Structure 1
Amino acid sequence: MSFFFRMASRLRPSTPEEVVRSINDSFHALHTKTGARALEEVEKNLSSLRQMLAGDGDAEPNQEQVLQITLEICKEDVLSLFVQNLPSLGWGVRKDLVHCWCILLKQKVDESYCCVKYIENHLELLDFLVGCYKNLDVALNCGSMLRECIKYPTLTKYILESSSFELFFEYVELPNFDIASDALSTFKDLLTKHETVVAEFLSSHYEQFFELYTRLLTSANYVTRRQSVKFLSEFLLEAPNSRIMKRYITEVRFLNIMTTLLKDSSKNIRICAFHVFKVFVANPNKHRSIIEALIENRRELLKLLQNLPTSKGEDELDEERDLIIQEIQKLACPSA
C-alpha cells in the first residue's frame, strides 16, 4: 500500500458521526466556497456514503454502521440538505444521492423507519420533490425519490391531500416524453400502493379528482388519452375501488366520455374505453339516466361495438362485446 493511499485512508471519515458531519459540512460549503471545489467535496462524500450503505461489491455493508449513519443523518437534518441541494449537483452525484436516499428510507431503527419519520416532520420536502418535475435536469431523480416515499402510507396520504397532487395532471402532459412517463408512474403509485388511503382520499375528493381526470381523458394529446383511459380501465375494475366504480358508473357525463372514446381513431384507446363502457351497461342496477342515455344512443352504440377492433386470439373480448351488444338490444324504451 502506497504512502499516499495510507494517508488518504487515515484522513477519510471513519465513524458514522464523522461521515455525516463531513457530508453536512460539504453541503453547507456549496454556498460559501468556490463552486467546483465544493461540488467535488460533496461528490466524494456521497460516493463514500453510498459505499458504506450499499457495500463495495467485495464486501457487504456493516448493518450496525448503516443504522448508526441513518440515525445521524436524521439528527443532523441531512435529508433536508439532500433535497434542497439536489438541483445544484451534477448527474453522477445525483445518482449516488438517489441511491443513498432509497437505502436510508428502508432502514428500521427500534421498530420505526427513522427517515420516514423525519420526512413526516418535514413534509415540505415532498412538495419540493413534486415541484422538481418542472426542472428537466432533476425531474427523473426526484421521481425516483418520490416513488420511494410513496411506499409509506403516511407520505402517500400527505401528497394526495396536498395542493401539489394536482400538478401531476399537468406533468403527465409535459412535452418531454421521458418526464411525462415518469410522472405517470409516480401518479399510478400514488393511486395504487395503499388501498385504504386511496379509498379515503377518493371518497372525500371524488368530484375534484374526476373533474381533473376527465381533462386527461379528453386531452388533444394522443399519448395522454391512451395512458389515462388504460389506467382508468385497470383502476376502476380493481376490487378495492368497487365503491368508487359504482359511483362512477351512475353518471351520464362519464358514460358520454367513454362513448366518445369508443370513436377514437386509436384501436388501443377504443378497446380500453370499452372495458370501462361495459361496466355501465353490465351494471344490474343501472341508474334511470344511464338507461335513457343508452336507449337514446342505441343505434350509434351498437354500430361502434360491432366495429370494435379485435385481434386473433381475443375470444374473451369478442364474448364480452357480444354480451354488451345483447344487453343494449334488450333495453326497452321508456314508452314501451
Structure 2
Amino acid sequence: MSFSFFKQSRPKTPQELAKAVKDSLTALDSKTVAEVKALEKALEEVEKNIVTMRTMLSGDGEIEPSADQVAQLTLEICNEDVISLLFHKLPTLGWETRKNLVHCWSILLKQKVDSVFCCAQYMENHLELLDFLVVCYDNKEIALTCGHMLRECIKLPTLANLLKLYYSRSNFRYILESPSFGLFFKFVELPNFDIASDAFSTFKDLLTKHATAVSEFLTTHYNEFFEQYEKLLTSANYVTRRQSLKLLSEFLLESPNSNIMKRYIAEVRHLKVMMTLLKDSSKNIQVSAFHIFKVFVANPNKPRDIKVILAKNNEKLLALLHSLSAGKGAEDDQFEEEKELIIKEIERVSRLPNLQS
C-alpha cells in the first residue's frame, strides 16, 4: 500500500516563494468586494505566503533560518518588485498578515547581498514608497503598521543614502517640499491617541537618530521648521506640549546642533514661548521649560533684545522661579542650584542700565 499521498509538499525555494508572494498579491487586484469568497481565498493565499516568508527569514523556533536562503529571498523580493506590492496592498491585508509583514520587513532591511543592502537600495530607487508610509498615518487601519515600517527605515545607520532623502540639502527637498514631512506636525495631534503617539515616535526618530544630518537640515530649513514647531509647543493638547518640549531639549542639546542652539537662544520669540510655558498649569511642563529657559539666561552672549525682555519681566520671572521646584530628591538639589544661578543672572541683567527703556 502506498502512503505517498501523506507526503508533505516540497518547501518552496526563495525564488518560488518570492514569485508566489507576488502572484498572490497581484491576484487581489482581480478580486472585488462583490466576490467575497474569491477575495477571502486570495487573502488566505497571501497570508499563507507571508507566513512562509516569515519562517524562511527567521526560522520556526526549532530550525534556524538558512543564511543563503535569507539572502536569496531578499534579492528575489527586490528583483521581483514585491516590496512595492507589499506596501500598496497593506490596506487590504488582515491584521495578522500585516503584523507578520512588519516582522519580515525588519529582517529584510538588514540583509546585505554582495555588499549591497538590497531593500535599502530599492527604497532609494522608489522614494514614493516613503511618501506612502508617511501619508498612511491618515489611515487608522494601517497607520501603526506603516509607522513601524517607516521607523525601521529611519533607524539603521546602514541606510545613510536613504536618510539623505530626509535630511540632505540635495535630496531632503523631496520630502520637505512635498506635503509629507510637514504632515508630521498634523499627525502628532491626531485625535486617535495611539496613532498620534506613534507619529510622534517617528517624528522623534527623524530628529534624533542621525544628529549630524539633522543639523544640516535644521541649518538649511531653520525658519520653516521652527515656525511649525512653535505651534506644537503652544498646542492646546497637553501631551503635545509636553512631548514637543522634551524632544526640543533633546535635539537642541546634541553637540552637532550647537550652532542651531546658539541661533535659537538668541531669538526673542523663542524666549517668549519658554516664558509662557514656565506659567503652564502642568508642573512637568514648567520644569521642562525651565531647562531650556535657563540656556537663554545663562548664555554669556545674550543679545540686547533678550536682556531687555528679561529685565522688563524680571519680577514675574523671579516669582515664577521661586515657586518652582523639581521635587525629586537628589535631582531637586541640582535643580535648586541651577535655579539659584538663573535667578542671580536675571537680577544682574535687571540692574544693567538702559534696559528698561
Corresponding residue for residue 306 of structure 1? 322
Secondary structure at the residue paired with 2:189?
coil
Which residue does the alignment assign to 1:86?
90
Q: Quote the residue 1:159 is aligned against.
A: 166
1:188–1:5 Cα change, 3 Å = farther
Matching of residues 66-77 of structure 1 within 5 Å: 66-77=70-81
The match for 1:212 is 228
Deviation at 1:307, TM superposition (A): 1.1
Contact 2:15–2:76 under 8 Å retained in 1? yes
Aligned match for 1:203, one of 199, 219, 223: 219
Distance 1:325 1:293 in 2: 14
| Superposition pairs of residues 247-262 of structure 1, within 5 angstroms | 247-262=263-278
Decide whether the 8 Å contact of 2:211 with 2:254 is kept in 1: no
Deviations 1:84-135 (A, max 9, x none): 1011100000001111111000001122211000000000000000011111
* Contact map agreement 1:156 1:190 (CA 8 A) in 2: no
Q: How many Å separate the matches in 1 of 2:314 and 2:161?
A: 46
1:6 matched residue in structure 2: 7
Question: In the alignment, what sits opposite 2:186?
Answer: 170
Q: Which amino acid aligns with 2:152?
A: E
1:52 is matched with: 56
CA RMSD of aligned residues (A): 1.4
Query: 3-state SS of the aligned residue for 2:126?
Result: coil
The number of residues matched between the two structures is 332
Residues 187-226 of structure 1 deviation map (CA, whole Å, 9 limit, x = unaligned): 0100111122111110100000000000000101111111
Contact 2:325 2:335 in 1 (8 A): no
- 1:4 deviates by 5.4
Moved over 3 A (4+): 2-5
SS at 1:56 equivalent: coil
Of 207, 222, 228, 2:238 maps to 222
Partner of 2:352: 333
Contact conserved, 1:153 with 1:194, CA < 8 A, in 2? no
The corresponding residue for 1:139 is 143
Deviation at 1:248, TM superposition (A): 0.1
Instruction: Determine the structure 1 residue equivalent to 2:34.
Output: none
Q: Deviations over 1:129-170 (max 9, x none)?
A: 001111111111111100011022333332353131111111
- Within 2, Cα distance between the matches of 1:119 and 1:285? 45
- How far has the Cα of 1:3 moved from its partner? 5.4
Alignment equivalent of 2:24, drawn from 16, 26, 30: 26
Shift of 1:263: 0.2
The match for 1:129 is 133
Q: Which of 104, 109, 113 does residue 113 from structure 2 map onto?
A: 109
Q: Residue 153 of structure 1 contacts residue 197 of structure 1 at CA under 8 Å; is this kept in 2? A: no
Alignment CA distance shift 1:272-1:3 (3 Å) = farther
- Alpha-carbon distance between aligned partners in 2 of 1:97 and 1:89, rounded to the nearest angstrom: 10
Asked if 1:42 is matched to 2:46, the reply is yes
Is the contact made by 2:137 and 2:144 (CA closer than 8 Å) also made in structure 1? Answer: yes
Please identify, of 192-201 and 82-91, the stretch whose mean Cα deviation from structure 2 is larger.
192-201
CA distance in 2, matches of 1:5, 1:258: 72
Is the Cα contact below 8 Å between 1:217 and 1:224 reproduced in 2? yes
Give TM-score scaled by structure 1 length. 0.96
Structure 2, unpaired ranges of 5+: 32-37
What residue in structure 1 maps to residue 333 of structure 2? Answer: 315
Post-superposition Cα deviations, 1:253-310, rounded to whole Å, max 9, x if no partner, equal 0000000000000000000000000000000111111111111111111111111132
Choose which of 247, 261, 273 in structure 2 pairs with 1:245.
261
Overall identity of the aligned pairs, in %:
63
Bigger Cα displacement from structure 2, 238-247 vs 253-262: 238-247
Q: How far, CA to CA, are the matches of 2:347 and 2:254 in structure 1?
A: 28
Contact 1:49 1:100 in 2 (8 A): yes
1:123 alignment partner AA: L
Task: Measure the CA separation in 1 of the matches of 2:246 and 2:258.
Answer: 17
Matched-pair contact (CA < 8 Å) for 2:112–2:118:
yes
Q: Distance in 2 between matches of 1:88 and 1:149?
A: 22
Letter in 2 for 1:135: N
Report the residue type matching 2:260 in the other structure: I
